[in-house]
Amino acid sequence: MKITYLGHASFKIEGDGKTIFVDPWLTGPKSTTSIDKVDKADIVLVTHDHGDHGYAEAIKICKKTGATFVAINELGIKAKDEGVSNVHTLNIGGSVMIEDVVVTLVQAFHSSAKGGPTGFIVKFPSGTFYHAGDTGIFSTMKIFGELYKPDVCLLPIGSYYTMDIQQAAMATKLLNPKYVIPMHYDTFPVIQADPKEFKELVRKVNPETETRILKPGESTEI
């Protein structure tokens, strides 16, 4: 997998010939790209409908590229009503196979206007990632780790709206991935956080996991 951090909680993830966007808030202050520059997308995932998670941009990307939109039922129905052709309306615990990629919708502990907040566990033939969405820590993360064995977890660390550094480090221990990438921090003054502090705490509580810190626009290969 090639993982590109697009800023805030937005990622482009490429694997096995597929390109997936998660929470593509490409108009945000930390975004390093724009919808005009998106020329390929196979799947677009939106964790919830808060403005900083790119629902509006996701709709535009899907219409532009023909990508499949995946979200919780109510948000998927809204996307259909807004003219997106390929939509999967999952609910918590449900999975769908899109060609050779399995997308599983999982719970998150947060808020939303339509439907509920979620995360995604996505399995390529060659690897698996977990995007937690906006959430606090919860004990079922340990089950996710045991059941899906994610290679990489994308976890919020900014506090105020989501987990803070300590919770995110403990979540890493529960999930026990090979790699963890922090997200959802430093976009606004209330979510300032030091990813190096998170990295050091992960090293102490779960030394088996490597923390990779990405600046917006940077990529890493897993």
pLDDT tens digit string along 74-104? Answer: 999 999 999 999 999 999 999 999 999 999 9
Convert the pLDDT of each residue in 111-167 to its tens digit: 999 999 999 999 999 999 999 999 999 999 999 999 999 999 999 999 999 999 999
pLDDT score at 2: 98
Kindly report the CATH class assigned to 2-214. Answer: alpha beta
Hey, what are 34's tokens?
């724009």
Return the axis-axis angle of helices 55-65 and 73-81, rounded to nearest 10°.
50
Which three-class secondary structure state does DSSP give residue 76? helix
Given this model, what pLDDT does residue 174 score? 98
Q: CA–CA separation, 76 vs 144, rounded Å?
A: 24
Q: Which residues make beta-bridge pairs with 180?
A: 153, 211
pLDDT at position 175 is: 98
Q: What residue has token string 């780790």?
A: 145
**Other CB atoms within 10 A of residue 36 CB:** 9
Three-state secondary structure string covering 163-218? CCHHHHHHHHHHHCCCEEEEECCCCCHHHCCCHHHHHHHHHHHCCCCEECCCCCCC
- Return d(Cα 140, Cα 68) in angstroms, integer: 28
Under 8 Å between Cβ of 1 and 25 = no
Which CA distances in Å does 200 have to 33, 141, 150, 185, 208? 30, 21, 21, 17, 13
d(CA 8, CA 188): 9
